[in-house]
Every structure is written in structure tokens, then in C-alpha cells.
Amino acid sequence: MTDAVDEAAGADEAADESFGSVTPDAARRLLLGAVEAFAERGFHATTTRDIAGRAGMSPAALYIHYRTKEELLYQISRVGHERSVRILGAAAETGDTAAERLDAAVRTFVRWHAEYHTTARVVQYELSALAEEHYTEIVAMRRRTEEILRTILSDGVAAGEFTVADVNGTALAVLSLCIDVARWYRSGGPRTPDEIGGLYAGLVLRMVGAEPRGV
Amino acid sequence: MTDAVDEAAGADEAADESFGSVTPDAARRLLLGAVEAFAERGFHATTTRDIAGRAGMSPAALYIHYRTKEELLYQISRVGHERSVRILGAAAETGDTAAERLDAAVRTFVRWHAEYHTTARVVQYELSALAEEHYTEIVAMRRRTEEILRTILSDGVAAGEFTVADVNGTALAVLSLCIDVARWYRSGGPRTPDEIGGLYAGLVLRMVGAEPRGV
DNA sequence: GTCTATAGGGAGATAGAC
DNA sequence: GTCTATCTCCCTATAGAC
């Protein structure tokens, strides 16, 4: 079977990009190697030799910890989605007004996509390489993400804070803004993840017609 | 060598998704097969057998018209980028005010990404599979795209139409909105490409703090 | 220009020693 | 648990007949 690939509650290590709690050590190194390789080249262009090499092991060692190459992608995708949904969900409960919650949600979600852009790139753009059953499971988690944003927008409209003609379409647009950060973000660029989060939160508040807060 | 893969000026066929002018017929069918396959599975997961099969030919026939599988991707990417830049550039000259030009640019660019989402998906998300020289060439074309948006935003700020703190960052955000449509759009969804274009143009005008026009 | 057949190279995954 | 060696499959690209 597979080694323990579960999230420990409090883990937030930057270097491990949220896989810090994976044990044993070899399994974690393989997972981190796979994240890097999949992010760089994509799942199908990545060889098991490459992954094992990044983990400092022989190709065969991979199969002690994971049944297939696809299972590595699945674990990355599953843990990555769990974490991103949790982070977004927590932020979406921060604040009394819908505007505050939307600000926190976008700020946090964007920051996650920038800071952990390597993981995020795999999480967001390699879905189609998942086995069908795994794909189905992950898609369900992704619906939670959309749901969270839709709820904030609906709440804001109901409370008279936002002016949004098409809640579903606008939620999709907000999500696009956040997700696409993982595609273009590079470490060492002109903006920090925090700055991008702040910029995008402001843009989104305007998008939904929220009154400027404290400007 | 390669058969003629150039854009005929007036071609806008929906079915051919902008490759209608490629000749001879077999070369075009292969290109269209490749677009479909690359969009569905990605470049590396697509086999030349699959591409040739979609074109109703044997695997070997592919090499009469294209030197390698990568050349197919290159032609798709090149023609697709040429077309998308031209469409965006034309829209960006439509209108007297910056707001009108931004509206037209976003509306048109989004519509293109939805209507030709199959081509757009390859154009936007398979870049990393290009050979290095081809990649370099395509990246240069992509800079034109960013440039067009930055110019509209700068003009709008200079004219006092927009309130934008970070022109570069905001241009990137606008681009994200447009591009990401190719990722999630499915034919037969609840919104037409035109509706999405209209929705997104409105969202973007709000993002840049443009006064509501005619609302 | 298109086909059938196949060369040549890796890829994912396994066997079995240590 | 990890390694070396290797199996087996299938992919890209080519050869040569038609």
C-alpha cells in the first residue's frame, strides 16, 4: 500500500509546501520531487527516474512507497486540495461583513497560489492526468471551493454590500483570478505573494461593487 | 519540409477554429486532430497514432506534412497566437475612450477564448512542450498581448478615466481573467461566449475604477 | 502522398539480491 | 527499504513498396 500521506494539523512549512507531515522520510522526498517535476514539465513528461533522482533514490524505490506514478499525482492533488480548501474556508469566515470575508478569502487564496506556486500548479493544471476515480473525488473537492466563493457573493448581495448581476459567473471570474496566479507567478518576481494578494483583493472588491473600505 | 501553414486574411470558420486556410487538406486535418488531442490530453499524453487516427490516416502520414510531433504544436501555437494577438489588437483600437477600448478588448479576447476554447487551451497551456527556439519565439508574441493591455490601462489612467494603482499588476489580472476562460469553458454550458465576454468586460471596467457607462 | 512494417529508444513497473 | 538488472510495452520516427 501507500505510506501515510495525511496532513498534520499545524503544518505550514514553506520548504515542504504542506507535505511536511508525510512519512516516512523517503515517501516525503519522493512526493516533493514529484511536485517539482510535475510543476516543471507536467505529469506525462515526467519520468519516474526523474522523480526518484530528485529524491536521491533509484527508480525502483518509488514503488515501495507508491503503487504507480499516478498515485503520486493523486496524493499531491488530494493533499493540496484539502489544504487549499481549508485555507480558503477559514479565510471566508474571517470578518463580520461580506466585504471583509471576500477580502480575506481572495487575499489568502491568492497568497497561497503564489507562495506555493509549485504545488498549486500541479493541483490546478494536472487534474486531467488523474485516474477517473481519483479525478471524480478531486472534482468534488473543487466544488467546495466554488461554493465558498458563491456563498460570500450571495451573502454580500443579500446584505446590500455588493452589486453583482451574475453571482455564479462572477464567482467563476474571482476563482480564475486566484488560480491563474499559479500559472504565471515566479519566485523572485517584482511582487511578493502578500502584495499580489492585497492587489487582487482590492480588484475583486471593486469587481463586486463593494464600497471602498477605509480608502 | 512543412506544408503551407499560414493564416488567410479573412478566415473565421468556427469549425476549423482558424486553421481553415492550411493546405493541403491532409495537413489541415492533422492539425485539427492535433488541436483536439492536445486540448483533451495534453501534448505529452497524445500519441502520433491518435493524431493521425483523428485525421483518418496512418501514423506515418503525419511525417509527410510535419517533421515532428512538436512541429504540430508549434504551428498550432504560432498561428493561434498570431490570431489572438491580432484580434486583441484590433479590438483595442475600437473606441474613442480608454474605457471603450478596454471594454472591446476584454469582450473580444474572452469571447475568443470561449468560442475557440479547444485551440485556446493548447495555445495557453501547452507552451512548455515547445522546443526552446519555438518557445522563445512564442513568448515574444505573448509580450505583445500584455503590452496591448498595459497601454490601454496607462492611457485610461493618464486620461483620468481609470483609477489603477499598479498598472502592470492589473494588466496581468485582466489577462488572467481572459486566459483562464480557456481552462474551464465547456461548450453547451449555461453561458454563451458572448455573454461571458459581456460579463467579464463589465467586471474589468469596475476593476479599473471606470465610471459606469450607460448604466 | 499514403500505406505496411519496423527500427530504435525509453518509459513504467517488477524480480530478486542484499 | 533500497539497490541493480531487466521485462515488457508502446512511442516517435523511418524505410521502402505502391
Residues of chain B that touch chain A, judged by Cβ-Cβ distance less than 8 Å: 40-42, 44-45, 125, 128-129, 165-166, 168-170, 172-173, 176-177, 179-181, 183-184, 190-191, 196, 199-200, 202-203, 206-207, 209
Q: How far is CA B67 from CA A114, B2, B27, B38, in A?
A: 38, 7, 12, 17
Alpha-carbon distance B98 to B158, whole Å?
10
Give me the pLDDT at residue A103, please.
98
In the block, which residue shows the cell 499525482?
A73
DSSP classification of residue A205: H
The pLDDT mean for chain A works out to 93
Alpha-carbon distance B215 to A47, whole Å?
55
For A194, residues 6+ apart whose C-beta sits below 8 A from its C-beta are A111
Give me the pLDDT at residue B5, please.
78
Nearest to A17 by CA among A2, A29, A1: A29
The 3-state DSSP class for residue A152 equals helix
Q: How far is the CA of B53 from the C1' of D14 (A)?
A: 19
pLDDT tens digit string along A71-82? 999 999 999 999
In the block, which residue shows the cell 500541479?
A122
- Kindly report which listed range (A169-178, A186-195, B204-213) carries the lowest average pLDDT score: B204-213
Instruction: Answer positive or negative: Cα dihedral of A144, A150, A153, A155.
Output: negative
Give me the pLDDT at residue B203, please.
98
Nearest to B186 by CA among B97, B120, B102, B109: B120
Query: Would you say residue A84 has pLDDT above 50?
Result: yes
Distance from CA of A206 to the nearest CA of B (A): 5
Please, which pLDDT band fits residue A3 given cuts at 50, 70 and 90? confident
**Comparing B157 with A8, which gets the higher pLDDT?**
B157
Of B44, B173, B207, the CB nearest to A45: B44
Give burial (CB, 10 Å; 0-12/13-18/19+) of B73.
buried
Residues of chain B with pLDDT under 50: 9-15, 214-215
Give me the pLDDT at residue A9, please.
44
Q: How many CB atoms lie within 10 A of CB A47?
A: 13
CB proximity B24–strand C (7 Å threshold): yes
Q: Which cell goes with A36?
A: 517539482
For B76, residues 6+ apart whose C-beta sits below 8 A from its C-beta are B19, B31, B34, B35, B38, B119, B122, B123
**Comparing A15 with A166, which gets the higher pLDDT?**
A166
Give me the pLDDT at residue B27, please.
98
Give me the pLDDT at residue A93, please.
97
Query: Do B124 and B179 touch, CB atoms closer than 8 A?
Result: yes
- Kindly report which listed range (A52-56, A211-215, B103-107) carries the lowest average pLDDT score: A211-215
Query: Do A104 and A3 touch, CB atoms closer than 8 A?
Result: no
Query: Do A59 and A34 touch, CB atoms closer than 8 A?
Result: no
- The DSSP string of B113-178 is HHHTHHHHHHHHH-GGGS-HHHHHHHHHHHHHHHHHHHHHHHHHHHTTS---S-HHHHHHHHHHHH
Give me the pLDDT at residue A213, please.
55
Give me the pLDDT at residue B214, please.
47
Helix (H) / strand (E) containing A118: helix A117-125
Total residues belonging to chain B: 215
pLDDT tens digit string along A94-138? 999 999 999 999 999 999 999 999 999 999 999 999 999 999 999
Q: Give the chain B residue whose CA is nearest to the CA of A200.
A: B173
Cis peptide before A59 (omega within 30 of 0): no
Query: Would you say residue A1 has pLDDT above 70?
Result: no
Residues of chain A contacting B183 with CB distance shorter than 8 Å: 176, 179
Give me the pLDDT at residue A4, please.
77
Give me the pLDDT at residue A214, please.
47
Q: How far is the CA of B27 from the C1' of C1 (A)?
A: 11
What is the three-state SS of A65-109?
HCCCHHHHHHHHHHHHHHHHHHHHHHHCCCCCCHHHHHHHHHHHH
Alpha-carbon distance A28 to A62, whole Å?
11
Q: Helix axis angle, A98-115 relative to A69-91, nearest 10°? A: 150
Q: Which CATH superfamily is domain A70-207 in?
A: Tetracycline Repressor, domain 2 (1.10.357.10)
Alpha-carbon distance B124 to B80, whole Å?
9
- Count contacts between A and B (CB, < 8 Å): 72
